[in-house]
Amino acid sequence: MTKILMVCLGNICRSPLAEGILRKKLKEKGISVVVDSAGTAPYHIGENPDPRAITTAQRHNIEISHLVGRQFTVDDFDEFDSIYAMDVSNCDNILSLARNEDDKTKVELLLNVMEPGSDRSVPDPWHGGGDGFEDVFYMLDEACEKVANSLK
Ligand code: 4NP
């Protein structure tokens, strides 16, 4: 079965939202794919998503409150087929752990699924207000729709 990993910095805002959004879309489309998320940093290991991410997801009928933060590890290159990074910094951090070309080819900036080579980042909403989370939700929703359709 195909396995997809969403990665941000803390694994409490962007990547758990992306995980929840993609899971919901795949379920609705009847596509069986494993989806997980992780952070490049260890700051929030064992924590549930940020309350603002949880409420943003709930507004769109997506439940992510049960998800638990974990850190990206080199084993994730073996476990997953595609690894989507939320921003350029996350992407660089993941690539710095790659052991070979096979590992590197699994890694892509999420928003490049919308516009290949554009190298746009999903902004980090953690430091901002609630609107930031809603903006991030719509960016992730659009990109996850594209990912889900590519898995049909
Ligand atoms: P995320 O947001 O990477 O989308 O989960 C952040 C969460 C926490 C921190 C930074 C970004 N932090 O510095 O603790």
26-31 average pLDDT score: 97
Q: Is the pTM of this model over 0.95?
A: yes
pLDDT beyond 80 at 130: no
From 36, 50, 87, 124, active-site residue: 124
Alpha-helical segments (H) within the chain: 14-29, 51-59, 76-79, 88-97, 101-105, 130-150
In 3D space, the residue among 34, 14, 7 whose CA is nearest the CA of residue 95 turns out to be 7
**Dihedral of the alpha carbons of 77, 81, 84, 88, in degrees to the nearest 10:** 50
Q: Is the alpha carbon torsion for 44, 107, 119, 116 positive or negative?
A: negative
**Could you tell me the residue range of the domain that residue 59 belongs to?**
3-150
pLDDT tens digits along 58-78: 999 999 999 999 999 999 999
Q: Which of 111, 121, 126, 139 is the best mutation target for the ligand 1 pocket, counting ligand atoms within 8 Å of the beta carbon and taking the most?
A: 126
- Give me the residues paired with residue 39 across strands: 8, 71
Q: How far is CA 136 from the centre of its chain?
A: 11
Residues 94-127 pLDDT 10s: 999 999 999 999 999 999 999 999 999 999 999 8
Q: Which helix (H) or strand (E) holds 6?
A: strand 3-8
Q: Which residues line ligand 1 (CB under 6 A)?
A: 8-14, 39, 43, 124, 126
Distant-in-sequence, close-in-space partners of 53: CB < 8 Å, separation ≥ 6? 12, 13, 14, 16, 17, 64, 125, 133
Residue 105 tokens read as 């080819």
What's the CATH number where 91 sits? 3.40.50.2300
Q: Ligand 1 atom closest to Cα of 8?
A: 3
Number of independent structural domains in the chain: 1
Q: Report residue 81: phi and psi, to 5°.
A: -85, -35
* C-alpha–C-alpha distance, residues 59 and 146, integer Å: 21
Q: Residue 48 Cα, ligand 1 centroid: separation in angstroms?
A: 12
